[in-house]
Amino acid sequence: MSAVVVVAAVIVGSGGRVLAAQRAEPPALAGGWEFPGGKVEPGEAEEVALVRECREELGVEVVVGERVGGDWPLSDGYVVRVWLCSLPAGEPEAKEHLALRWLGPGEYYDVEWLQADLNVMKTVENLLQ
């Protein structure tokens, strides 16, 4: 059985800021911080899913850029595929999250990242330097 693919957006703003989103659910993950995204629908291209998820979760249109790493393993047969994204216009809103927060260099670890997202953040930090 192949892994279930989840996509995530590392939205990079001015000055190397990245957008973190605080999970509202499920209860086991609620309160943890992640990069926004979600499951790829059957027959949907991953980049298209990423744009759709950012529209649904944040109310913004992102431009998908460079992929970050390979498949990042999650629990229960899920993998997350991550892209750097830019935000040409608009300000994200927390539609499905408890909160959103822009984190600049030196603040990247000021939130309690979920484990998979923490690993991504370490890689992204190196890419943004």
pTM: 0.94
Averaged over successive runs of 10 residues, the pLDDT of the chain (129 residues) comes to: 88 96 94 96 96 97 96 89 95 96 97 95 94
- Cα 111 from Cα 70, distance rounded (Å): 24
> What pLDDT does residue 3 have?
81
Q: Which residues, other chains included, contact 129 with Cβ-Cβ below 8 Å and sequence gap of 6+?
A: none
Amino acid in position 69: G
> What pLDDT does residue 98 have?
97
> What pLDDT does residue 1 have?
57
Cβ atoms of 69 and 119 within 8 Å: the answer is: no
Range(s) of the domain holding residue 89: 4-128
> What pLDDT does residue 50 have?
97
CATH of the domain at 45: 3.90.79.10
The DSSP 8-state label assigned to residue 15 in this structure reads G
Amino acid in position 95: K
The DSSP 8-state label assigned to residue 1 in this structure reads -
- Cα 85 from Cα 62, distance rounded (Å): 6
Total domains in the fold of the chain: 1
